[in-house]
Amino acid sequence: MTLCVKVPFKDAERVKRLLERKGVLDPLHRYDKDERHIYFPITRKLEEPGLIYAKRVLPAAKKKNTLREQLRSQLTPEELAHVKSSYDIVGSIAIIEVDKALAQRERIIANAVLAMNKHVSTVLKKEGGHEGELRLQKMRCLAGKDTRETIVKENGVTLLVDVERVYYSVRSATERKRIAQLVKKGERVLVMFSGAAPYPCVIAKLAAPAHVVGIELNKRGHELGIENVRRNKLDTVTLMHGDVRELVPLLAQQGETFDRIVMPLPHTGHDFLDEALSVARTGTVVHLYDFEHEDEFEKGAEKARAGAARNGKRAEILGIVACGQHSPRVYRICVDFKVL
């Protein structure tokens, strides 16, 4: 049985517009009618006077494959042109972007996303871009359970993430696997800017390192990282809370060095090469992330060489890997280089 609004034919168009505006039309079912009334399927009741609710067996809506197709009966062709069809699903949370032209239709869009993905229980809307030193992004719940935490499964590990308070990119899962597959048995690995510890956990799970150290400035990220290490039973991972500018020099003073250093901070990672190279030795492999235009990947390599030269070392470029698109013709790249 499906929750419906029971409407006399004469009021059908007016009530339909109301339900669309409120974003409560159920896209999984088609409307039905009897001799005097039409029954609109809805996802929840409204605090609107005069509406009559009923439960009725309704025919299922025809299966729709894309968000635009899902919304075709609820938005005008002009509005559909502004719909951003792609969105991220992080565990049970869908994260969408809504064009300003569709501000009044955002809940309709969110409910469509919810209806299309049975394992999704929350739809969040991005409110601006990543901000501040911790790369955080404000979000607002448009449909489903109002939460920012979810469980993600990737590369054999289970991760608890907070999509608003701790930076996490589901799109980087393949890149994390690539790095883990490069780690040799017995290596000591440093992960700077480790967040909720996806890199340390995936590396420890898929490879056989002697020790993985992760450093994260965000307190909540560090707390989630500790929980993720615990839940995946990874006894070769140590996580440190603090600023890499302070903690890495302390490791250097203690004589610590690493076989591999991962620096997943594309915007400003190269600014921390001095710290990274202070715990590198000849033969250490560094994975430096950067954002570069598709015609200028070599700029990332130049940053690696400049950082090495500044510290009296040389950088042998092993490869440059495009590992995600940041914006039109701008990519997230990883410069793999060996310290000489």
Q: What is the CATH number of the domain that holds 187?
A: 3.40.50.150
Structural domains of the chain, count: 3
Is pLDDT larger for residue 14 or for residue 128? 14
Domain assignment present for residue 322? The answer is yes
Considering the domain architecture, whether residues 9 and 102 belong to the same structural domain is answered as: no
Helices (H), the chain: 12-22, 67-71, 77-80, 106-116, 173-182, 198-206, 219-231, 244-253, 273-278, 298-310
Question: Does the pLDDT value for residue 175 go beyond 70?
Answer: yes
Contact status, residue 58 vs residue 32, Cβ threshold 8 Å: yes
244-278 as b/e: b if 16+ CB within 10 A: beebbeebeeeeeebbbbbbbbbeebbebbebbbe
Mean pLDDT of the chain: 93
Give the pTM: 0.78
Question: Does the pLDDT value for residue 77 go beyond 80?
Answer: yes
Find the CATH number of the domain harbouring 9. 3.30.70.2580
Lowest mean pLDDT among 45-59, 94-108, 149-163, 222-236: 45-59
C-alpha span between 41 and 4 (Å, rounded)? 4
Considering the domain architecture, whether residues 139 and 162 belong to the same structural domain is answered as: no
Token pair in block for residue 1? 């049985």
Domain assignment present for residue 62? The answer is no
Question: Does the pLDDT value for residue 108 go beyond 70?
Answer: yes
- Say how many C-beta atoms besides its own lie within 10 A of residue 201's C-beta: 29
Domain assignment present for residue 208? The answer is yes
Contact status, residue 26 vs residue 32, Cβ threshold 8 Å: no
Residue numbers of the domain that contains 13:
2-56
User: Cα 320 to chain center, whole Å?
Assistant: 23
Q: What percent of the chain has pLDDT over 90?
A: 74
Considering the domain architecture, whether residues 46 and 74 belong to the same structural domain is answered as: no
Domain assignment present for residue 159? The answer is yes
Strand-pairing partners, residue 288, are 263, 335
Considering the domain architecture, whether residues 164 and 297 belong to the same structural domain is answered as: yes
Considering the domain architecture, whether residues 141 and 248 belong to the same structural domain is answered as: no
Note every long-range contact of 75-79, with CB atoms under 8 Å and residues 24 or more positions apart, other chains counting.
75/102, 75/105, 75/108, 79/105
Domain assignment present for residue 61? The answer is no
Considering the domain architecture, whether residues 241 and 266 belong to the same structural domain is answered as: yes
Domain-terminating residue out of 100, 126, 147? 147
